[in-house]
Amino acid sequence: MSFARIPLLIAFREAVGLRDTYGGIDGVVALQAHHLKPETPSDTIVVFMHPMGIMHYLPLPPALAAAGVHVLTAVSRYPNNDSALIMEKVAVDLGRWVAHCREQLGYRKVVLAGWSGGGSLALFYQAEACDPQVTHTPSGEPFPMAGANLPPVDGVMLLAAHVSRAQTLTEWLDASVVDEAGPVRDPRWYLYGPECPQPPYSQDFLSEYAARQVARSERITAWARETLADITRREGPHAERAFIVHGTMAAPCWLDPAVDANDRTPGRCYLGDPRLINDSPGGLGRFTTLRSWLSQWSLSSHACSLKVGHRIRVPVLVVGNTADDACTPSHTQRLFECVANAASRELHEVRGATHYYAFQPDHLKIAAGIVTDWLGRQGF
């Protein structure tokens, strides 16, 4: 089925204190989206949104539109740049698009499609829309989510998703880093060095490695809180600092296929060779700020599926890809388990599919079929 691709832009004004994006008109938040509109009318629209990703041309949204599903690929105020991203602000941006779909585009039902990092965003959004509990960001700034008036949605899909940006980064942190300046590494825990045990890893090694990852995350968090308190005391409430997080792509599962096992190719991650990505500019969470670390990367983040999933009451679809080297099976299972109070929940797998369905038209067709079948059976 053919569909129109309609670029959209919405803007709203917001009080400005600390600027976390470059350029633009002072005090105006501008958001872009693509409306993928099939010829056949529908009263339901599926909204894709990632905290920072632009999803207009990923394989699944147009595949769904070609199957007759009305789709919006929405973008937050942080397009392709999460260095100063605040998850609470991303939820506000998503709320603007949900309202736009109903009030301006005329759709009666809205279903969130949480792809990859959009999965935890979708659950965080719906939890706060139905039962707002956030009053401050993790850095302590007032952010009463109840005042955002987020419109609830009618369903949530978690597609090749992980449980949160914070948990994912923690599970990928290079546990060998013992001093963030430099960095300084303990070679006994550097996965890519000769002094570290090689796969297959023992359970004792994996347990200690994971504990060291959590400890490193908590050290950065403690430093961020202390530094923020110090500079705001000296320089005022809007003081901020940017910093680099070295070694963020060192997950044992990429080297040992028995860890969180699926059909992925050993020795690779979704960005390529993790040995090269671990300290490269394109690694996850490489550039950040004190407030952004606390909001999106620290284990104090509010936007974690495991913290909010139990508050979801609408129907939920969870789809995992069995050759995914970004969102591994334990994340898919944890997502399904955490939404136990949903009106209904289903778990499906696409055998052999990678994270993006890149060059996998048959797998993409299966995934689109799972989604369209679920939407139809739910009355969407």
pLDDT at 346: 98
The confidence band for 21, taking pLDDT boundaries of 50, 70 and 90, is confident
* DSSP state letter for 136: B
* Across 18-45, average pLDDT: 90
Global model pTM greater than 0.75: yes
| Cis ω before 281 (30° cut-off from 0) | no
- CA separation for the pair 215, 189 (Å, rounded): 13
Residue 319 tokens, joined: 């789809």
- CA separation for the pair 86, 51 (Å, rounded): 9
pLDDT at 132: 98
User: Hey, where are the domains in the chain?
Assistant: 3-164+303-377, 168-297
Residues 6+ apart with CB under 8 A from 64: 36, 46, 71, 368, 371, 372
- CA separation for the pair 55, 283 (Å, rounded): 19
**Residue 351: left (phi > 0), alpha (psi -120 to 50), or beta?**
beta
Residues 6+ apart with CB under 8 A from 374: 157, 317, 346
* Across 250-260, average pLDDT: 97
The confidence band for 194, taking pLDDT boundaries of 50, 70 and 90, is very high
Given a cut of 90, whether residue 25 has pLDDT beyond it is no
* Across 5-17, average pLDDT: 90
**Coil vs helix vs strand at 280:** coil
290 has which bridge partners? none
pLDDT at 15: 80
95 has which bridge partners? none
Given a cut of 90, whether residue 329 has pLDDT beyond it is yes
**Residue 175: left (phi > 0), alpha (psi -120 to 50), or beta?**
alpha
Alpha helices, DSSP H only, in the chain?
60-66, 87-103, 118-130, 165-172, 203-235, 274-277, 290-292, 305-308, 329-338, 361-377
pLDDT at 222: 98
User: Cα angle vertex 50, ends 45, 56, to 5°?
Assistant: 60
142-179 confidence digits (pLDDT tens): 999 999 999 999 999 999 999 999 999 999 999 999 99
Could you tell me what percent of the chain has a pLDDT over 90? 95
- To the question of domain 3-164+303-377 being in CATH 3.40.50.1820, the answer is yes
Cα 237 → chain centroid: 28
Q: Other CB atoms closer than 10 Å to residue 20's CB: what's the count?
A: 17
Contact 160, 320 (CB under 8 A): yes
Residue 237 tokens, joined: 């409430």
The confidence band for 182, taking pLDDT boundaries of 50, 70 and 90, is confident
Given a cut of 80, whether residue 19 has pLDDT beyond it is no
Given a cut of 80, whether residue 309 has pLDDT beyond it is yes
Given a cut of 90, whether residue 91 has pLDDT beyond it is yes
Given a cut of 80, whether residue 365 has pLDDT beyond it is yes
Nearest CA among 210, 167, 190, 113 for reference residue 306: 167
Contact 110, 102 (CB under 8 A): yes
The confidence band for 23, taking pLDDT boundaries of 50, 70 and 90, is confident
pLDDT at 103: 98
Mean pLDDT of the chain: 96
pLDDT at 372: 98
45 has which bridge partners? 110
pLDDT at 27: 82
On the 0-12 / 13-18 / 19+ scale of CB atoms within 10 A, 182 is exposed
The confidence band for 1, taking pLDDT boundaries of 50, 70 and 90, is confident
